[in-house]
């Protein structure tokens, strides 16, 4: 599989469609480009473990309150992503390292400046 090509195909003019509901596979690929190939496998998984991908996906499907935002942890919780009820995802600048922030910016991942 040519992941670089897949990443390029899901970008449009320096931004990408980071959405776990409408563009799940590409969004996870972009997050792996930031977090490393073992993400999300290195997260504890389960419906009751907050901030992991399994929990967030369940929250997106079951939560009925509009305009809510939850947090998804990157590798070991060092990076964080804001996940909006519509499935859109933003990399949280305030919860990142300079290295991962540069990667996120470089691939065009939407950035939450908070």
Q: What digits encode the pLDDT tens for the residues 33-69?
A: 999 988 888 777 766 678 899 889 999 988 677 788 9
Domain range list for the chain: 3-109
CB-CB neighbours of 108 under 10 Å: 17
Cα–Cα distance, 57 to 20 (Å, whole number): 8
Q: Please report the pLDDT score of residue 1 as a whole number.
A: 41
DSSP reduced 3-state for 73: strand
The model's pTM: 0.81
- Return mean pLDDT, the chain: 84
CB-CB neighbours of 42 under 10 Å: 13
Q: What digits encode the pLDDT tens for the residues 14-31?
A: 568 999 999 999 999 999
């Amino acid at each position: 599989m040519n992941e670089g090509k897949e990443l390029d195909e899901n970008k449009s003019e320096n931004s990408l469609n980071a959405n776990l509901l409408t563009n799940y596979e590409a969004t996870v690929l972009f997050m792996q480009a930031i977090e490393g190939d073992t993400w999300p496998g290195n997260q504890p998984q389960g419906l009751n473990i907050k901030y992991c991908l399994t929990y967030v996906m369940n929250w997106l499907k079951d939560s009925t309150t509009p305009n809510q935002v939850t947090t998804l942890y990157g590798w070991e919780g060092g990076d964080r992503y804001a996940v909006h009820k519509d499935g859109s995802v933003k990399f949280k600048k305030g919860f990142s390292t300079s290295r991962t922030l540069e990667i996120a910016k470089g691939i065009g991942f939407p950035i939450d400046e908070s």
